[in-house]
Amino acid sequence: MTWLEIVAVAATLTAIWLTAKRHMLCWPVNLVACALYFKLFLDERLYADMMLQAVFGLAILYGWIAWARDRDVGGTVIPRTMAPRQAVTGLAAGAVGAAAIGWFTSHHTDAALPWMDSTLTSFSLVAQVWTARRYPANWLLWIAVDIFYVGMFAFKGLALTAGLYAVMIALAILGYRRWRTATAA
């Protein structure tokens, strides 16, 4: 456990809590968390997750703009329903991305866990896009991804980050409940 991991965990927890509450401050806090984890994953040779943080940075900017443009009169961000076809398309894109990133990192880097890291990276990108588009299903995908992240980070000896991802599962459950309630209202 390093100071970098401690600060990254704190920033990430704050960002996810703010996202669950649909608070616009989640976006800049998420940017800080991404930068911190980019450095941590570089140090740990989890290259797919390192690159994920860079792509997350772009997705966060997209989400920030999308949320800022599409709020109700009171400024509240309203979740939207996702069509089944969109879900299938997103999951298929996640699978294709996992195969492509996994092949690349297993053949061209010294990645510690190329296939697991790549699969989690790819499906995390799908979940991040779904978050930006305000689909409550983003939380369900985050739950699935985070369960596997807990194991990967524990295996890599990143106990605090594994703990963070365990807490993120609970926050994702909270986020899903809040967003579903807001969608039904």
HEC string of 107-155?
HHCCCCCHHHHHHHHHHHHHHHHHHHCCCCHHHHHHHHHHHHHHHHHHH
The string of pLDDT tens digits covering residues 58-101 is 999 999 998 888 777 777 888 999 999 999 999 999 999 999 99
Mean pLDDT, the chain, rounded, equals 91
pLDDT in tens, 14-43: 999 999 999 999 999 999 999 999 999 899
- Classify residue 73 as exposed, middle or buried by CB count within 10 Å of its CB (0-12, 13-18, 19+): exposed
Distance CA 131, CA 63 (A): 7
Question: How much is the pLDDT for 185?
Answer: 64
What is the arithmetic mean of pLDDT over 39-51? 85
Domains in the chain, number:
1
Whether residue 107 has pLDDT greater than 90: yes
User: pTM to 2 decimals?
Assistant: 0.86
For 65, other C-beta atoms within 10 Å of its C-beta total 12
For residue 158, give the amino acid letter: L
Provide the domain limits for residue 8.
Answer: 3-184
Contact at 8 Å (CB) between 182 and 79? yes
pLDDT at 115 > cutoff 80: yes
pLDDT at 119: 95
Model confidence band, residue 137 (pLDDT cutoffs 50, 70, 90)? very high
What per-residue confidence (pLDDT) applies to 56? 87
**Gap between the Cα atoms of 71 and 77, Å rounded:** 5
Is residue 184 scored above 80 in pLDDT? no
Alpha-carbon gap, residue 165 to 50, rounded angstroms: 16
pLDDT in the model for residue 46:
81
Residue type, 70: D
Has residue 10 got a pLDDT over 80? Answer: yes
Name the residue among 88, 82, 87, 86 with its Cα closest to residue 180: 82
Yes or no: say if 60 and 27 are a contact pair by the CB < 8 Å rule: yes
What three-state secondary structure class fits 71? strand
pLDDT, greater one: 181 or 74: 181
Question: What's the pLDDT at 49?
Answer: 77
Tally of CA atoms within 13 A in the half-sphere of 72 that contains its CB: 9
Confidence (pLDDT) at 27: 94
Indicate the length of the chain as a whole number.
Answer: 185
